[in-house]
Amino acid sequence: MAEHDDDDDYLSVGDERTIYTASDALVCKYSASSLGYYNDKYLHSLFAKSIVKANTNSMVGAPSINPLRKPPIINRGYYGRVKCIDVVLSKFLSTTSLNTSAASIPSIPTDIADKLITDIPDSASAYRQIVSLGGGFDTLSLRIIAENNPGLHIYEVDFEEVINKKAVALLSESTCRHLLLGNHGNNTTPATSPGIKDNRQILTKILHDCTITNGYNLGPNLTLFGSDLRNNTNDIINKLTSIGFNPSLPTLILTECVLVYIEKAVTEQLINTFASSLPNVAWVTYDMVNPTDSFGKTMCRNLRDAGFNIPGFLEYPTIESQIQRFQSNKFEKVNTMSMLAAYQRLLTSDDKMRIARIEHLDEIEEFELIMSHYTLTTAVKGSVLSGLV
Ligand SMILES: C[S@@+](CC[C@H](N)C(=O)[O-])C[C@H]1O[C@@H](n2cnc3c(N)ncnc32)[C@H](O)[C@@H]1O
């Protein structure tokens, strides 16, 4: 397990429930992906390592229902969430790609491109970064790394319990391990060793080699960092910098269904800290909204009855309040839309027709109601990323 520093010694029942949402999101994405809504072989690899099987047995669905297959309305909603976030991330990746700028000058000499990279202070090989706060068991990082986006380093932050499980799952599974560690993963593959005992020993060795303080350095593109986001608000940049993060590089922060579990004061501090320390930063966030209308009240009641703490849902009740939290904390441009609007605008008609053929959806009105209780917000600070909004 990761070398321990200071926080995360104690998890309340509410925190345990929050942590459980990482598994729940994984199951829902797995359901949508296995039905063909989108392709994510890493999701399947990670799932195969049964991160969530224990949880699904005890917490999701009735025994007679397949807990790994979600209803069409959930599959479609999760696909919309994944796809819309992908659209923003793709824009970030193309905006910060040296290849893209080189494309307009096809003959850009390699030494100049190299110089562009090496001139950036303290960056070993990265010239852009993604920080996924509350990354859970999401496989987005793996999909992006597999697309071969050069010069990219991704930092995922979550409770230590989550990143410990994720590191073990990623390194135990050959597809993920080879993607992240390349030859190192190949040479020490547990799959090639003779017995389970040896496999365990080899996995322990790889885990040990990847361990850093409070986390895991999983190759040149991915670092997992264990931290309760509420404990490190002012110090988070220092903590990340100590594991290789470079505040001077263009950075995208992702919070996909995370800020709802965090109190307003903490969220504002987090936003302010990143905006104050990074000259070029974009923030993409997916959140719940409208807790006070009748559907929103039902959502709140159900979540609370299930033991979830959702202060961010209640303290940012409107689209305006979600814009405000970035505008009042040094972000220069902010765009928020309901997920219903995002789904309608960011998915192509062909894609919408394709997924309608995967599963028939009777409850269109209910789907639209649910989607209007979630938002997608993009905020930017600095000239490099201003085109994202
Ligand atoms: C609904 S899950 C979403 C996971 C992932 N972003 C996704 O969309 O698949 C919420 C995640 O936020 C994490 N989280 C919530 N509050 C946190 C905190 N205070 N510190 C660290 N992680 C937190 C949870 O552990 C969980 O992994």
CATH number, domain with residue 266: 3.40.50.150
Q: Tell me which of 24, 159, 163, 227 to substitute to probe ligand 1's pocket, judged by most ligand atoms within 8 Å of the beta carbon.
A: 159
Pick the closest to residue 156 from 178, 126, 181, 134 (CA basis). 134
**Token match 């040149």: residue?**
220
pLDDT tens track for 89-102:
999 999 999 854 44
CA of 308 to the centre of ligand 1 (A): 12
Contact between residue 275 and residue 329 where contact means Cβ atoms under 8 Å apart = yes
Contact between residue 288 and residue 374 where contact means Cβ atoms under 8 Å apart = yes
For residue 129, pLDDT over 90 is answered with yes
CA of 261 to the centre of ligand 1 (A): 8
Within-domain flag for 184: no
Q: Tell me which of 59, 83, 258, 270 to substitute to probe ligand 1's pocket, judged by most ligand atoms within 8 Å of the beta carbon.
A: 258
Q: Ligand 1: does its nearest atom lie under 6 Å from the Cβ of 226?
A: no
Contact between residue 307 and residue 17 where contact means Cβ atoms under 8 Å apart = yes
Q: What is the pLDDT of residue 199?
A: 76
Q: Ligand 1: does its nearest atom lie under 6 Å from the Cβ of 158?
A: yes
Structural domain total, the chain = 1
pLDDT tens track for 368-389:
999 999 999 999 999 999 999 9
Within-domain flag for 284: yes
pLDDT tens track for 238-259:
999 999 999 999 999 999 999 9
Within-domain flag for 256: yes
Pick the closest to residue 133 from 230, 220, 41, 244 (CA basis). 230
Alpha-carbon distance of 6 to 175, in angstroms, equals: 33
Within-domain flag for 200: no
Within-domain flag for 187: no
Within-domain flag for 109: no
Within-domain flag for 181: no
For residue 122, pLDDT over 70 is answered with no
> Helices marked H in 283-376 — which ranges?
294-305, 311-315, 319-327, 339-346, 349-358, 364-371
> What average pLDDT does the structure give for the chain?
86
**Token match 């264990």: residue?**
226
pLDDT tens track for 160-209:
999 999 999 999 888 999 999 986 555 444 444 444 456 788 888 899 99
Q: Ligand 1: does its nearest atom lie under 6 Å from the Cβ of 262?
A: yes
Confidence of residue 361 (pLDDT cuts 50, 70, 90): very high
For residue 112, pLDDT over 90 is answered with no
Q: Ligand 1: does its nearest atom lie under 6 Å from the Cβ of 19?
A: yes
Residues β-bridged to residue 338: 375
Q: Which of 34-48, 133-147, 332-346 has the lowest mean pLDDT?
A: 34-48
CA 387 to chain centre: 22
Within-domain flag for 209: no
Q: Residue 317 sits in which domain range?
A: 13-99+123-165+219-388
- Nearest-CA residue for ligand 1 atom 14 is 134
User: Could you give the count of Cα atoms lying within 13 Å of 154 in the half-sphere of its Cβ?
Assistant: 25
Q: Ligand 1: does its nearest atom lie under 6 Å from the Cβ of 190?
A: no
Q: What is the pLDDT of residue 202?
A: 84
- Nearest-CA residue for ligand 1 atom 13 is 134
Task: Report which ligand 1 atom has the smallest distance to the Cα of 286.
Answer: 8
Q: What is the pLDDT of residue 189?
A: 47
Q: Ligand 1: does its nearest atom lie under 6 Å from the Cβ of 136?
A: yes
Tell me the two tokens of residue 165. 């499980």
pLDDT tens track for 61-83:
444 456 788 999 999 999 999 99
CA of 132 to the centre of ligand 1 (A): 9
CA 389 to chain centre: 20
